[in-house]
């Protein structure tokens, strides 16, 4: 289980641009690593667009924002282009990174159970340690909640 004050599990995933992003290569900057269930769905779109709309504040905080879902690179590229998202979306189709961060598991919707990603965010300090774990985040307040953590970090 990922804990505050402990090193963030390292990973390398393909981005919407087809590049590989390795978490440990981003040391020196705070990282907002947010996991979301699926591209272009109402809650995930709200969450991503709110980060986009507050992008200047994220930049002033010096933060790198990475969105992670099980969707593939092509889906991410389409989602990013459709909403003009200024940050990288990472493909975790095998959900290895979601599992490493403890956000992959059983969910239920409309009485059906399925395996999926819990909407969660990890704010990682410039030194690679987890500053804040945010579970079951509300997409409507996500950007503001993360910016409050970045301001206090």
- State the pLDDT at residue 111: 83
Of 33, 44, 63, 97, which is the active-site residue?
44
Domain annotation for the chain: domains and CATH numbers? 12-152 (3.40.30.10)
Residues β-bridged to residue 113: 108
pLDDT band, very low/low/confident/very high, at 152 (cuts 50, 70, 90): low
Bridge partner residues of 7 (DSSP): 129
pTM, full prediction: 0.94
Q: What is the DSSP letter of 25?
A: G
Do residues 89 and 45 make contact, with C-beta atoms less than 8 angstroms apart?
no
How far apart CA 22 and CA 4 sit, in angstroms, is 20
With 0-12 CB in 10 A as exposed, 13-18 as middle and 19+ as buried, what is 130? buried
CB neighbour burial string for 27-62, b if at least 16 within 10 angstroms, e if fewer: eeebbbbbbbbebeeebbbebbebbbeebebbeebe
Helices and strands counted in the chain (H then E): 5, 9
Per-residue pLDDT tens for 72-93?
999 999 999 999 999 999 999 9
pLDDT bracket for residue 147 (50, 70, 90)? very high
Is 49 tagged catalytic? no
The average pLDDT across 25-43 equals 95
How far apart are alpha carbons 36 and 13 in whole angstroms? 15
């Amino acid at each position: 289980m990922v804990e505050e004050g402990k090193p963030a599990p390292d990973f390398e995933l393909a981005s919407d641009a087809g590049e590989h992003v390795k978490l440990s290569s981003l040391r020196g900057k705070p990282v907002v690593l947010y996991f979301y269930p699926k591209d272009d769905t109402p809650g995930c779109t709200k969450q991503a667009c709110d980060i986009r709309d507050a992008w200047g504040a994220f930049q002033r905080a010096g933060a790198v924002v990475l969105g992670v879902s099980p969707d593939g690179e092509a889906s991410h590229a389409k989602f990013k282009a459709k909403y003009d998202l200024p940050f990288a979306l990472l493909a975790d189709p095998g959900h290895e990174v979601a599992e490493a961060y403890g956000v992959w598991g059983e969910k239920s919707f409309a009485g059906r159970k399925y395996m999926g990603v819990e909407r969660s965010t990890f704010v990682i300090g410039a030194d690679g340690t987890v500053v804040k774990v945010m579970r079951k985040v509300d997409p409507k307040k996500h950007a503001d909640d993360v910016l409050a953590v970045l301001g206090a970090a």
